[in-house]
Structure 1
Amino acid sequence: MTFTSFKNARIVRSGWLDEGGRRLDCNPYMSGALEARDTLKRLPVTEKLSAVTARIFHAGREARLWVSDADHGVLFMGSSDIRVADFSALPLIAKRQVERNPLFTLGSGWTLITRSGTIGRMAYARPDMAGMACSEHVLRVVPDVGRIPSGYLYAFLSSRYGVPLVVSGTYGAIIQHIEPEHIAELPVPRFGPVFEQEVAQLIDAAAAERVAASKHRRAALELFQAKIGWSRDSDSIARAPMASALLGRMDAFHYSPRVETGRASLAAHFGIRLGDQVERVFEPNRGSRLKVTDPAFGVPFLSSSSVFELNPSAEYLVSRSLTPHLEGLLVSDCDVLIPRSGQLGGIIGRAVLPLPMNVGQAGSEHLVRVRCHSPQDAAYLWAVLASEPGYWALVGTAFGSSIPSLDSSLISDLTIPWLSDLDRQEIGALAEKAVVAQNKGNELEATAVALLEEKIRKES
């Protein structure tokens, strides 16, 4: 057997072993961190991360006190939430706990880095995240704005040079971690205020687009709910239905007040059957995912959770020619996507619109497609299904006790409001603005990071 027989093999220089204290775990050598470090060493000027930051910290571990009333709570982000596009499903942690431990609270312009489990996922804390609480499993890198622009620092840390260096500091065999001291000495390239401000302005513009997307998204949902006069009178989940109501199904959640109120509210205003107003509602056929590495022969594959991220991206490619039922997996701009399985309260039943950058890519068979007759219809129906009554009506159709699942035929049978043309256009236009702004934010961030990576490559 030869060296080339190993698919992911790498040559490790003996000098790297000496510099790392004879560290023999694969992580620092396989991540590309040492190559990145050697590239940065060739740059004219670098500074340690600790020298350009005011603080690097996490919140520390403590039990969390959850609340359901927004008057007494603060939106709380777990490590998997720092890159979500929509904050409406976030839980609330008690205000008094956050006041007692202000380390939970986020500030605008910080770089957030997941520090345990899946390490090195990053997000830029935009203005609408300021004041939210965040998990101890996320490192906060607070820039010293007098020394470095916050957007520039984020662009470097999230680049192909920054991420490997961050990840290389992990420790632990089963559940890996990083601590602030593990990244404090990372070299940060400096290229002068003009270039750094150019990169930072692109990152800040991306953040502004994402804030705008959130506002448009929220406005669309509030407008729809106002049009149908939605009001949830009670948070109770208990109810005693009549025996005659149990003829169709007997699971308790289906008859809970929130679900029944949601269904009734949707049905009370110009109600039509959902399946009669769209092209079709379907789940793609299941089949093996035949992975390829060459983009010429593959299609990016999106998971049912990735579509909720700010920048939905595929983890791998599936074969164009050999993947069974590939046509059914391809995402259309006329689709509303709905995860069909998972735990109640998670992503199951939460509707999302695909971004233009993801149209034509393959999406998981765990995403139900509500395929509409036009992108405008899809934008309006997203607001219907993503609204509070729409969500409860959707998730109320779930069946199964261990892992609840949705069924496309039951979704088709939902009665939904088909408002006037003018109302549908007004609501749909806000949803479309949200999609355009989120997509624009992704393009601006990608441009900023690419600009910095090219500068590093040329100067090294």
Structure 2
Amino acid sequence: MKVASLSNPVMSDWLADQGLRLDASPYIAGSLEAKKMLERLPDTVPLASVTSGHNGGIFNGPMFRRVYLTDPEHSVPFVGTKDMMAADLTALPRLRKSDATSAALSYLQVKPGMTLISCSGFNAGRRAYVRPDMGDCWSSQDTLKVEPDPEEIKSGYLYAFLLSRFGESLVRGSVYGSAVKHIEPHHITGLPVPRFDEGLEGRIHQLVEYSARLRAQYQAGLVAATKDFFDSVGLPELNKFRWHQQERDLGFEISTAEPISLRALNFAPRARRLIEKLASVQGATLGDICAGGSLRTGARFKRIDADPSHGVRLIGQRQAFWIRPEGRWISAAQAPEDIRLQDETILVAARGTFGENEVYSRSVLVTGAWLEHAYSQDFVRLLSGDPDVPGAYLFAFFRSDVAFRILRSLSVGGKQQEYHPRLLREMPIPLAPPADRARIAQTVRYAYQCRDRADILEDKALALLTAAIEEAAG
């Protein structure tokens, strides 16, 4: 339960400022405190005065029937409230292109430099910056678009303010609703945006823009590494593999020498053809590569919450795929050792359902700054035990759609799926010549270095803005 701070009690005139809202959110979430602090600044302007475009530059969109396709020629990437937080956008759902480009929905195409704000759902109020590589994406009606007017304000500076603790308090203070939270465009048009000299705003903008370009480089690097992987192992046709364009798995027969499994999914022809193709080139099984390393899920444990200064951030399956995690903080001393991982461990989401947009069977690489975090038991910890097969090389394969489809075919369980341990160990992994392996691994490593550098620059931009606001407010 949240209570008002005794050092900053709720005042009666705050009720009038909020249109006599009687729910507690805007009063104890820091929204009014941030607003009163910003009022002490010498120069602030309403958000609506520095935006331009459709509906004045602050808009979401109409509810509409979504038709999803898989053919890139006839579809466009579609960003929802969860997808806007993703670091890797290659697995985005795809909206039918004829609908997206129609007069009714064409304005939902996002533009680099926009700020996206989730405006519906339990986590309404999250913010994300539209990177340079997102210009071909459309966004859902559950996402507010804030389009800065380039004549009035720099896009990176505006995003930095909305992302800061001051912007977060103001945006989240605009949320209304009980079970399903909402923010409407008119709720944030009057948010006070602090203005500073052109030099400071320009520096903050440049840091945010450079951060966005580095995240685009991270994305491009991973895509290039996966393409290089299949080219180098002699399977270039898998770069253009389209699962849904293959013949469906209907009416097939199998014969096995031993009862490995009784589930038809584990012998589905589409996945079997992929496995046979991987096994047709030089390689090794996943079990052999991970001998001496790790190939198992984590230990179950009870979470003991801790203060951030004495704990570690715990990352679960959903947030592992975000640009920046928001996991809870727990006591590492009260948890098993395997919550902390070795460099270049691959985490494969190991529990879930078969929804096309679910993270089950998707993979992430733990390296760089993300080694500081802890990870839940709901991942397969995949760590190479062979120094000639680095984790960064393996990740170029495991992030592919081919690996995703094969992993799902290895599933066992009822509602919640897991992997058949023997079938997982027997999964064939193509091995490129040593020089190619080293090059692919380096491409992946550089991509993650770009990602870490992007986070540092974004944090620096926020620190500059926060210091300027606090100094100006006295």
Shorter-normalised TM range = over 0.9
Q: Unmatched 5+ residue regions in structure 2? A: none
Structure 2 residue matching 1:47: 3-state secondary structure: strand
- 1:340-351 mapped onto 2 (5 Å cutoff): 340-344=350-354, 345=356, 346-351=358-363
Shift of 1:447: 0.9
Structure 2 residue matching 1:217: 3-state secondary structure: helix
Task: Choose which of 12, 15, 20 in structure 1 pairs with 2:13.
Answer: 15
Q: Deviations over 1:84-120 (max 9, x none)?
A: 1111111111111011121221111000000011111
Corresponding residue for 1:379? Answer: 392
Verify: 1:426 aligned to 2:439, yes or no.
yes
Partners in 2 of 1:441 and 1:408 — Cα distance? Answer: 37
Verify: 1:221 aligned to 2:226, yes or no.
yes
Structure 1 residue matching 2:412: 3-state secondary structure: coil
Task: Choose which of 297, 302, 305 in structure 2 pairs with 1:288.
Answer: 302
Q: Deviations over 1:237-283 (max 9, x none)?
A: 32433241594323333333431222122222213121221212111
Return closer, same or farther for 1:138/1:459 CA change in 2, 3 Å cut-off: same
Kept in 1: contact 2:4–2:10 (CA 8 A) = no
Corresponding residue for 2:173? Answer: 168
**Letter in structure 2 aligned against 1:41:** E
TM-score (norm 2): 0.91
Shift of 1:407: 4.7
Shift of 1:131: 2.2
- 1:26-105 mapped onto 2 (5 Å cutoff): 26-54=24-52, 55-100=57-102, 101-105=105-109
Partners in 1 of 2:3 and 2:430 — Cα distance? Answer: 54
Structure 1 residue matching 2:128: 3-state secondary structure: strand
Task: Choose which of 115, 120, 133 in structure 2 pairs with 1:116.
Answer: 120
Return closer, same or farther for 1:408/1:351 CA change in 2, 3 Å cut-off: farther
Q: Deviations over 1:183-215 (max 9, x none)?
A: 000000000211101000000000110111111
**Letter in structure 2 aligned against 1:62:** F
Return closer, same or farther for 1:355/1:45 CA change in 2, 3 Å cut-off: farther
Kept in 2: contact 1:155–1:449 (CA 8 A) = yes
Corresponding residue for 1:3? Answer: none
Partners in 2 of 1:365 and 1:250 — Cα distance? Answer: 27
- 1:361-376 mapped onto 2 (5 Å cutoff): 361-373=373-385
Number of equivalent positions:
451
Partners in 2 of 1:247 and 1:284 — Cα distance? Answer: 27
Partners in 1 of 2:367 and 2:46 — Cα distance? Answer: 37
Kept in 1: contact 2:388–2:434 (CA 8 A) = no
Shift of 1:33: 0.6
Task: Choose which of 129, 134, 143 in structure 2 pairs with 1:138.
Answer: 143
Task: Choose which of 461, 464, 470 in structure 2 pairs with 1:448.
Answer: 461
Verify: 1:328 aligned to 2:367, yes or no.
no
Kept in 2: contact 1:280–1:370 (CA 8 A) = yes
Partners in 2 of 1:337 and 1:328 — Cα distance? Answer: 12
Kept in 2: contact 1:281–1:409 (CA 8 A) = no
- 1:297-336 mapped onto 2 (5 Å cutoff): 298-311=311-324, 313-323=325-335, 325=336, 327-336=337-346
Structure 1 residue matching 2:381: 3-state secondary structure: strand
Shift of 1:418: 2.1
Partners in 2 of 1:16 and 1:148 — Cα distance? Answer: 29
TM-score (norm 1): 0.94
Give the aligned CA root-mean-square deviation in angstroms: 1.8
Aligned identity (percent) is 31
**Letter in structure 1 aligned against 2:313:** P
Kept in 1: contact 2:339–2:374 (CA 8 A) = yes
- 1:409-424 mapped onto 2 (5 Å cutoff): 409-424=422-437
Kept in 1: contact 2:412–2:418 (CA 8 A) = yes
Partners in 2 of 1:268 and 1:310 — Cα distance? Answer: 36
Task: Choose which of 412, 416, 437 in structure 2 pairs with 1:399.
Answer: 412
Partners in 1 of 2:149 and 2:417 — Cα distance? Answer: 47
**Letter in structure 2 aligned against 1:452:** L
Structure 2 residue matching 1:292: 3-state secondary structure: coil
Kept in 1: contact 2:289–2:389 (CA 8 A) = no
Structure 1 residue matching 2:372: 3-state secondary structure: coil
Q: Unmatched 5+ residue regions in structure 1? A: 1-5
Partners in 2 of 1:128 and 1:365 — Cα distance? Answer: 33
Corresponding residue for 2:253? Answer: 242
Structure 1 residue matching 2:22: 3-state secondary structure: coil
Please identify, of 9-18 and 430-439, the stretch whose mean Cα deviation from structure 2 is larger.
9-18
Q: Deviations over 1:383-441 (max 9, x none)?
A: 12222322222221111232222255542231211222111111111111111111111
Corresponding residue for 1:390? Answer: 403
